[in-house]
Structure 1
Amino acid sequence: MEFEMTLLLAFAPFIAFVVIERLVSVPAGLTAGAIVAAALLVRDVATPGRHIKLLEIGTVLLFGALTVYALTNDVRWSIAAVRLRVDAGLMLIVLASIALRQPFTLQYARETVGREHWGSTDFVHINYVISAAWAVAFAALVLADIAMAYVPALPHSTGVIATVVALIAAVKFTAWYPEQRAATRT
């Protein structure tokens, strides 16, 4: 459970973005995401036993770049269009972590298990699978964002439902898969 909570905290910049862009504006939401992402990065630098993570670096860069672009250009992104950019960026970060042979969940999992497990092929495999599941969830978000941005006749609830289902599925899979894997090993 600690692993899942730590992983969910990593998505706090995205939650801040969604809430603030809804309540204030897209540039304000992007700025909030950048600030929360930077705060998480600083927390990891300042806290003994914590390490900077690829997801957090990518999130700071993603929100920072989108914020600068939105504030220095006269952009008129719809909420769906900006979410498409954010969700696509997040999906690319996750896919890059897998391609770099450092699945993003591995860095979070290492903070919640003993060092003796880190080199285990099963531990690494579990993190590849969980990271891939999150990539699939973010791909679903991107598809929902595309539909919402380019098919305006779709009800807004369609995108919201697709997003909620994809994220809940990823969270539940993250909790279920390691336990399932352990049960099949015994």
Structure 2
Amino acid sequence: MMVLLILAPFGAFAALMLVTSATVSLFAGAGVAAATIIYDVARGASIKMLAVGSLILFGALGGYIAFIDSSWSSPAVRLAVDGGVLAMALVSIAIRFPFTLQYAREIVDSETRKLPGFMHANYVITWAWTAAFVLMVLTNVLMIYLPSLPLWVGLAIALAARNGAALFTKWYPKHRREMAAKQPLPGGVISAS
């Protein structure tokens, strides 16, 4: 459920880019990002930096294309969106607050949040998403410079990158718990929990 909320603005944008203008797609993405923020506030959750960043990104790009320069191609718009999301991920790492941390804090118990590996796991998951964003940016560049490349190739790579990151996000915490359970306790006994 959490991953669906995180990806909802981008899913709305990507789906609409197939059937309508960039301006409509960008403003719809901004609207969905605003809705996720409202949903978080309504349920007493924290306002997520990725949701706010997405709202600003989609709104600013939508405004720019609507009022200043409407000549952008679809691949250029997708490149700007994916580049913006990549920048958000990298900034979150640079300021030592990986963007996944806000989501993780809301789904784990307080004891898990205190574990020394909790921050490390969030960095690893954020880097996995960052790698997916890099792949999407590179795909958009490829689509710009090789316009004869079928649209489905770009869509397939973007979906594979996003789905791969989403699956990794679900798998990695379970993997860390399994590895921790196999660690020997003091005295050489292996943990059974």
Shorter-normalised TM range: over 0.9
1:157–1:20 Cα change, 3 Å: closer
Identity score, percent: 45
How many angstroms apart in 2 are the aligned matches of 1:144 and 1:62? Answer: 20
| Aligned residue-pair number | 181
Q: Counterparts in 2 of 1:84-103, with a 5 A limit? A: 84-103=79-98
- The alignment partner of 2:85 has SS state of helix
For residues 13 and 162 of structure 1, the distance between their equivalents in structure 2, rounded to whole angstroms, comes to 19
Gapped regions of structure 2 (runs ≥ 5): 182-193
Matched with 2:187 is: none
2:134 partner letter? A
Q: Which position in structure 1 is the counterpart of 2:21? A: 25
**How far is the alpha carbon of 1:142 from its aligned partner?**
0.4
Instruction: Give the corresponding residue for 1:73.
Output: 68
Which sections of structure 1, spanning at least 5 residues, go unmatched?
none
Contact 1:7 1:105 (8 Å CA) reproduced: no
Is 1:160 the equivalent of 2:159? no
1:123-162 paired onto structure 2 within 5 Å: 123-162=118-157
Whether contact under 8 Å (2:3, 2:166) holds in the other structure is no
Structural RMSD (CA):
1.2
Higher relative contact order (CA 8 A, sep 6+): 1
Shift of 1:122: 0.9
TM-score scaled by length of structure 2: 0.89
SS at match of 2:64: helix
- Render the CA deviation track for 1:17-46: whole Å, top value 9, x for unaligned: 112222221100001011111111122223
SS of residue in 1 equivalent to 2:107:
coil
Cα distance in 2 between the residues matched to 1:74 and 1:90:
21
The answer on 1:58 being equivalent to 2:53 is: yes
Corresponding residue for residue 170 of structure 1: 165
Shift in Å, 1:115: 2.0
Contact 1:30 1:67 in 2 (8 A): yes
Q: Whose radius of gyration is greater, 1 or 2?
A: 2
